[in-house]
């Protein structure tokens, strides 16, 4: 258990509304990631963070923004949700002490945009 929680776990929202997903970790890991998972695509990286206020884009960042004002929290915001953003969203951390670069995941958030 890497001490990662995500909230909410499920959300239904309407097209055009803003949505914020929260990832919280309890072990002060430096690296945090947001992925989306869609059938047939595995996981795709949206944004990642390598420290407080240090973030960068992944391969599918359009329509998403992130913020990290504290080590323990990494927020993902959909500025104006679209139906194409219906997905399962996973937060992950990479332990800084890991020499093999594995990542550990939160339980996921299922987001439905109607």
Partner 1 sequence: AQTVTQSQPEMSVQEAETVTLSCTYDTSESDYYLFWYKQPPSRQMILVIRQEAYKQQNATENRFSVNFQKAAKSFSLKISDSQLGDAAMYFCAYRTPMDSNYQLIWGAGTKLIIKP
Q: Which residues bind partner 1 (CB under 8 A)?
A: 31, 33, 40-45, 48, 50, 56, 58-59, 88, 90, 92, 94, 100-105, 107-108, 110
Residue number, 25 or 103, with CB nearest to partner 1 = 103
Residue number, 81 or 90, with CB nearest to partner 1 = 90
C-alpha–C-alpha distance, residues 11 and 15, integer Å: 13
Residue number, 37 or 65, with CB nearest to partner 1 = 37
CB of 80 to partner 1, least distance (A): 25
The first and second tokens of residue 73, run together, are: 């929290």
C-alpha–C-alpha distance, residues 29 and 74, integer Å: 11
CB of 48 to partner 1, least distance (A): 6
Q: Please give, one letter per residue, the 3-state secondary structure of 37-93.
A: ECCCCCEEEEEEEEECCEEEECCCCCCEEEEEEECCEEEEEECCCCHHHCEEEEEEE
Q: Parallel, antiparallel, or unpaired for β 31-37 and 73-78?
A: unpaired
Residue number, 14 or 39, with CB nearest to partner 1 = 39
CB of 105 to partner 1, least distance (A): 4
For the chain, how big is the Rg over CA atoms in Å? 13
CB of 17 to partner 1, least distance (A): 24
């Amino acid at each position: 258990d890497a001490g990662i929680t995500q909230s909410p776990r499920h959300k239904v929202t309407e097209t055009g509304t803003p949505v914020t997903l929260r990832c919280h970790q309890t072990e002060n890991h430096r690296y945090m990631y947001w992925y989306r998972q869609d059938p047939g695509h595995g996981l795709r990286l949206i944004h990642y963070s390598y420290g407080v206020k240090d973030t960068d884009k992944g391969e599918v960042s359009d329509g998403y923004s992130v913020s990290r004002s504290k080590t323990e929290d990494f927020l993902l915001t959909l500025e104006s949700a679209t139906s194409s953003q219906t997905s399962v969203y996973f937060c992950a951390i990479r332990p800084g002490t890991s020499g093999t670069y594995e990542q550990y995941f939160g339980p996921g958030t299922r987001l439905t945009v109607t």
